[in-house]
Amino acid sequence: MAKTSSLNVRVVEGRALPAKDVSGSSDPYCLVKVDDEVVARTATVWKSLGPFWGEEYTVHLPLDFHQLAFYVLDEDTVGHDDVIGKILLSKEAITADPRGIDSWINLSRVDPEAEVQGEVCLSVQMLEDGRGRCLRCHVLQARDLAPRDISGTSDPFARVFWGSQSLETSTIKKTRFPHWDEVLELREMPGAPSPLRVELWDWDMVGKNDFLGMVEFSPKTLQQKPPSGWFRLRPFPRAEEDSGGSLGALRLKVRLIEDRVLPSQCYQPLVELLMESVLGPAEEDTASPLALLEELTLGDCRQDLATKLVKLFLGRGLAGRFLDYLTRREVARTMDPNTLFRSNSLASKSMEQFMKLVGMPYLHEVLKPVISRVFEEKKYMELDPSKMDLGRTRRISFKGTPSEEQMRETSLGLLTGYLGPIVDAIMGSVGRCPPAMRLAFKQLHRRVEERFPQAEHQQDVKYLAISGFLFLRFFAPAILTPKLFHLRDQHADPQTSRSLLLLAKAVQSIGNLGQQLGQGKELWMAPLHPFLLQSISRVRDFLDQLVDVDGDEGAAVPARALVPPSAIVREGYLLKRKEEPAGLATRFAFKKRYVWLSGETLSFSKSPEWQTRHSIPVSHIRAVERVDEGAFQLPHVMQVVTQDGAGALHTTYLQCKNVNELNQWLSALRKASAPNPDKLAACHPGAFRSARWTCCLQAERSAAGCSRTHSAVTLGDWSDPLDPDAEAQTVYRQLLLGRDQLRLKLLEDSNMDTTLEADTGACPEVLARQRAAAARLLEVLADLDRAHEEFQQQERGKAALGPLGP
C-alpha cells in the first residue's frame, strides 16, 4: 500500500493590488511555496492591478508538509522585485472543508525580518539528582534557515529558555546549515513547571540580532516524551496581520487530496464494473455502474474525475470505447443538435482531457511555430475601432497618424499573415494527429450521424461535433493562453494578448463553420470574413480526412504509459558546469549545452545537431535538488546527484534561465527517476569549493548532506505515467461522496417503482437494472472500505510496536 498526497492549486486572479511603478501600475506575479520549497511561479502580468493568471498546478507532496504560501511580487527589470503581500494557508485550514478552498483572500504584509523557515535538530533529556531536576538540551544542528545577511547566509546561534534560566550556543558564521553539537544544561527553579523554548537568531555585529525561528515544548511533553529529532521552526506566536484589503486580494482554489492507495487486487472488482459498462450493449447504457457514477458526480468534480477515468481506460486500451459510451449517452439525451456537447458534461470533459493527454505533442507541433512568431514580432493589430490606438504608428515610425481605414488594412494583413500559416498547419496535420484521437473522432462522427440523420442536419452537425472539440476546446484555447498549454513560459503582454485574442476568435469562427459570422456585437470582424469563409471550405475536407482511419485502439495507444521510456519528455539549452574546473572562475566553469531528458537517459551535447553526446542513465540518479545562489553566485542552479557502479556519488550542476524553467526541470527529473532505489534522504544545497562545503562549512567532501531532499515534490503534467491504482482510488472516493444518494434513490422498496418511473421516465426493466448496478457498486464500496480499515489497523499495529518491534 502507498500513501499519496497532492495539492490542486489554482491561482485565479488578483484585485486591488497597490501600484508599485511610477506609471501607477504594477507587474505582479505569484510565487507558490510548500513549506520552504518554491514549487511554482506564475507568469508576470504586465501593467495590471487586477491581474488574471488562471494558472493551475497539481503538486505532489510529502505527507508531512505543513503549510502552503503565496507571495505576490512586483517584477522589477532593473533592481530587486518588490514584495506586495502574502497568504499563508496551513494544512489544517486547507483540509477544514473536504471541497477545499475557493475564495478571495486578503494579502497580509510581509516583514522580511519575521519570515521563518527551516528546522532544528534537538535531543532533550530530563535528569534528576540530589540537587533537583536538570534539563539537558543537546542542540545538534539546523538546516534551511532563512538568509538574513546580504551574502545570502546567516550567522546563527541558539538560545535555550527554561523557566527563568537561559543559555546560548556559540555563533557559527556565514551558513544556513549550522552544526553546533553543543549540550546546554539548565537547573529547574522553584515554581510551576515551565515549557522549554529554543530560539534561533542571526548574530549581527552592528544593530540588533535577527530572529530566525523558535520551537516550544510544554511541560507535559518534556515529562512524558522528551523531544528528540528534527523540529520545524515557528514564528513568534501572534495573530496573522490582515491588511484589511489595503494590499489587495487573491482568488485561490486549493484542494488537498490525501489517499491510501491499496494493492491492485483490491480495486479489481471496481475496475471490472467500469469496464463492463463500456463493453456492454448500448441498450444498457442508462443502467450501468458508470452511468450511476456520472449522475452522482457534481460539476466541480467532473474535470478531475474525467482525467482519472480517461487515464484508467487508456491503461486498459479502452479509452475509445469509454468515450464512445459517453458520446452515446450524450447524443441520446440531446434534442437540439445545436446544443450538442455545449455543456460541461462528463462526456465533454472526458473528450477535452483525452485530447490534452494524448494530443499535446501534436498541438505543439502544429501551433508553436506561429505562436512563437507572434510573441517575438510583437506586431500591433486591431480591428475594433473602439480599441484602435491611431497614434501608435506615429510614435513608432514618425510618418504621421494613419487613418482608421489604414490601420484596419494594416491589421488585416498582419492577422491573415499569422492566420494563414495556422490554418495551413492544421489542415496539413492529418498524418500527425495521434491515431487514438482520429479513432475517437471517427466514433463521434458516426454517433452524431446516426442520431441526427435528417437532411437538414446532415450538412454540418457531424462536422460541428468534431470541430467543436478540436477547434473550440483545443486549438483556440491554446492560442488564447499559450502558457497554460506549455507553448510559452510566460503570459503575453497586453498588446500580444490582444493579438492572440483576435487570432483565437478567428480560429473559433472557423471551428463554428461560420455559423455566427456577421451576427452579434463583433461586426468589426467583418473585414476578416472573406478569409474565414475560404478557410471554412477547407475544414470539412480536413475533418473527412481526419476520420478516414482504420485500425484498432489497442494499436493506437500504449497500454501503460502516455510517453514511452525512450521518448524525450524535456529538452532545451542549459548551462552545465564542468565536473572539475581547474583554475577557472566560477562563471566561466558553466558552458552552454543542449540537454535531452527521456525516461532512460539525461544527455548533453554542444547543440541539437551535434553528433557526440554525453549521457547519464536516469537509473543512476539519486537526488535532484536546488542549489543555493551563494554556491556559485548564480541564480536558478540545480544539481543532479548520481551514483556509479562502485557506489561513488557524482554531482552535475545545471543552470536554468528562470525559476519557471528550474521548477519544470526539477519536476521532470524527479518524476523520471522516481522508481530508482536508494534515493538520498539528504544532500548539500551548496558546492564543495575551497576545501569545504559552502552550505554547512564541513571540510570533508564525503560529509553527510545537511539539507533534506524533496524527491516527492513534483508538478503534475500531461506526460505523467499512468497509475491505474491511484486512478481507481479517485473513482472510489467519488463514489463514497454519493453513496447515501445512491442508497436513497435506487435502493428503495420495490413498491416505489411507480413513483420512480413517473419521475425519471424509465421503464421498470431499466429501474431494475439500475437497482442491480447500484447494489453491485455498494457491495464493491463495502469491500474497499474493509480493505482500507484492515490496512489502517496494520499501520496502527506497526506504530504501536515501534522500531524495536518484529
Q: Which residues make Cβ contacts (< 8 Å) with residue 14, sequence separation at least 6? A: 28, 30, 49, 50, 51, 53, 72, 248, 249, 250, 251
**What number is the average pLDDT over the span 520-535?**
85
Phi first, then psi: give them for residue 218, nearest 5 degrees: -75, 160
Q: How many helices (H) and strands (E) does the chain have?
A: 22, 28
The number of folded domains in the chain is: 5
- Let me know: does 638 contact 665? Beta carbons within 8 Å: yes
Residue 477 belongs to a domain with what CATH number?
1.10.506.10
Residues 696 and 767 in one domain: no
Residues 660 and 685 in one domain: yes
What's the start-to-end Cα distance of the chain, in Å? Answer: 19
The closest alpha carbon to 213, from 105, 66, 30, belongs to: 66
pLDDT value for 582:
45
What is the gyration radius of the CA atoms in the chain, in angstroms?
30
**What number is the average pLDDT over the span 90-96?**
90
pLDDT value for 452:
83
Residue 773 has pLDDT above 80, yes or no: yes
Residues 65 and 198 in one domain: no
Residues 573 and 695 in one domain: yes
pLDDT value for 184:
94
- Let me know: does 611 contact 592? Beta carbons within 8 Å: no
pLDDT value for 47:
87
The closest alpha carbon to 143, from 112, 178, 172, belongs to: 178
Q: Which residues make Cβ contacts (< 8 Å) with residue 616, sequence separation at least 6? A: 601, 602, 603, 640, 642, 652
Residues 413 and 368 in one domain: yes
Cell of 260: 491510501
The closest alpha carbon to 790, from 266, 257, 63, 269, belongs to: 266
User: Is residue 803 a part of any domain in this protein?
Assistant: no
Q: How far apart are CA 104 and CA 50, in angstroms?
A: 13
The closest alpha carbon to 58, from 14, 100, 116, belongs to: 100
As a whole-number percent, the residues of the chain with pLDDT over 90 amount to 43
Specify the 3-state DSSP secondary structure of 65. coil
User: 752 vs 438, which has greater pLDDT?
Assistant: 438
Residues 509 and 362 in one domain: yes
Specify the 3-state DSSP secondary structure of 589. helix
User: Is residue 524 a part of any domain in this protein?
Assistant: yes
- Let me know: does 110 contact 31? Beta carbons within 8 Å: no
pLDDT value for 754:
47
Residue 684 has pLDDT above 60, yes or no: yes
Residue 650 has pLDDT above 50, yes or no: yes
Which amino acid makes up residue 129?
D
Q: How far apart are CA 697 and CA 176, in angstroms?
A: 10
- Let me know: does 503 contact 422? Beta carbons within 8 Å: yes
User: Is residue 386 a part of any domain in this protein?
Assistant: yes
Query: Which is it for the CA torsion 715, 364, 672, 649, positive or negative?
Result: negative
Which amino acid makes up residue 72?
V
pLDDT value for 207:
80
Specify the 3-state DSSP secondary structure of 4. strand
Instruction: Provide the residue range defining the domain that includes 266.
Output: 262-317+727-749+763-796
E strand residue ranges, 709-785? 714-715
Q: Centre a 10 Å sphere on the Cβ of residue 647 and count the other Cβ atoms it contains.
A: 7
Cell of 112: 522580511
Specify the 3-state DSSP secondary structure of 106. strand
- Let me know: does 467 contact 355? Beta carbons within 8 Å: no
Specify the 3-state DSSP secondary structure of 772. helix
The closest alpha carbon to 179, from 191, 171, 190, belongs to: 171
Residue 163 belongs to a domain with what CATH number?
2.60.40.150
Q: Which residues make Cβ contacts (< 8 Å) with residue 262, sequence separation at least 6? A: 1, 725, 729, 784, 787, 788, 791
- Let me know: does 728 contact 312? Beta carbons within 8 Å: yes
User: Is residue 331 a part of any domain in this protein?
Assistant: no
The closest alpha carbon to 273, from 783, 738, 790, belongs to: 783
Q: Centre a 10 Å sphere on the Cβ of residue 736 and count the other Cβ atoms it contains.
A: 12
User: Is residue 175 a part of any domain in this protein?
Assistant: yes
pLDDT in tens, 243-269: 667 899 999 999 888 888 888 899 999
pLDDT value for 751:
46
Q: How far apart are CA 460 and CA 423, in angstroms?
A: 19
Last residue of a domain, one of 518, 547, 576: 547
Residue 523 has pLDDT above 70, yes or no: yes
Residues 603 and 530 in one domain: no
Q: Classify residue 243 by its DSSP letter.
A: -
Residues 538 and 422 in one domain: yes
**What number is the average pLDDT over the span 536-549?**
91
**What number is the average pLDDT over the span 410-424?**
94
Query: Mean pLDDT lowest for which of 60-74, 91-105, 394-408?
Result: 394-408
Residue 677 has pLDDT above 60, yes or no: yes
Q: How far apart are CA 798 and CA 525, in angstroms?
A: 69
DSSP-assigned states of every residue in 252-305: EEEEEEEEEEPPHHHHHHHHHHHHHHHHS-GGGGGGSHHHHHHHH--HHHHHHH
Q: Centre a 10 Å sphere on the Cβ of residue 128 and count the other Cβ atoms it contains.
A: 9
**What number is the average pLDDT over the span 437-445?**
92
**What number is the average pLDDT over the span 730-740?**
87
CA dihedral 416, 422, 428, 433 (to 10 degrees): -160
Residue 412 has pLDDT above 70, yes or no: yes
CA angle 433, 436, 441 (to 5 degrees): 80
Residues 605 and 478 in one domain: no
pLDDT value for 580:
53
Q: How far apart are CA 54 and CA 497, in angstroms?
A: 14
Specify the 3-state DSSP secondary structure of 571. strand
What mean pLDDT, rounded, does the chain reach?
Answer: 85
**What number is the average pLDDT over the span 687-704?**
90
Residue 614 belongs to a domain with what CATH number?
2.30.29.30
Residue 331 has pLDDT above 60, yes or no: yes
> To which residue does cell 528546522 refer?
119
As a whole-number percent, the residues of the chain with pLDDT over 70 amount to 89
Which amino acid makes up residue 68?
L
E strand residue ranges, 620-769? 621-627, 637-643, 649-655, 682-683, 688-689, 692-693, 707-708, 714-715
pLDDT value for 555:
43
User: Is residue 238 a part of any domain in this protein?
Assistant: no
The closest alpha carbon to 45, from 20, 23, 27, belongs to: 27
Q: Which residues make Cβ contacts (< 8 Å) with residue 516, sequence separation at least 6? A: 509
Residue 793 has pLDDT above 90, yes or no: no
Residues 193 and 275 in one domain: no
Cell of 60: 505532489
The closest alpha carbon to 551, from 670, 634, 645, 434, belongs to: 434
User: Is residue 721 a part of any domain in this protein?
Assistant: no
- Let me know: does 733 contact 259? Beta carbons within 8 Å: yes
DSSP-assigned states of every residue in 612-630: --EEEEGGGEEEEEEE-HH
CA dihedral 773, 777, 783, 784 (to 10 degrees): 160
Residues 364 and 504 in one domain: yes
Residue 35 has pLDDT above 70, yes or no: yes
pLDDT class of 69 with cuts at 50, 70, 90: very high
Q: Which residues make Cβ contacts (< 8 Å) with residue 806, sequence separation at least 6? A: none
The alpha helices in 589-723, defined as continuous H runs, are: 629-632, 659-672
- Let me know: does 673 contact 618? Beta carbons within 8 Å: yes
Q: Centre a 10 Å sphere on the Cβ of residue 336 and count the other Cβ atoms it contains.
A: 8
317: left (phi over 0), alpha (psi -120 to 50) or beta: left
Q: How far apart are CA 117 and CA 211, in angstroms?
A: 11
**What number is the average pLDDT over the span 178-198?**
90
Query: Which is it for the CA torsion 356, 357, 359, 361, positive or negative?
Result: positive
User: Is residue 16 a part of any domain in this protein?
Assistant: yes
Give the range with max mean pLDDT: 47-56, 201-210, 281-290, 636-645. 636-645
**What number is the average pLDDT over the span 351-355?**
93
Residue 583 has pLDDT above 50, yes or no: no
Q: Classify residue 324 by its DSSP letter.
A: H
pLDDT value for 284:
66
Last residue of a domain, one of 547, 576, 599: 547
Cell of 197: 523554548
DSSP-assigned states of every residue in 385-438: GGG--THHHHHHH-S-PPPHHHHHHHHHHHHHHHHHHHHHHHHT-GGGS-HHHH
pLDDT value for 352:
92
Residues 370 and 476 in one domain: yes
Residue 12 has pLDDT above 60, yes or no: yes
Length of the chain: 806
**What number is the average pLDDT over the span 576-597?**
72
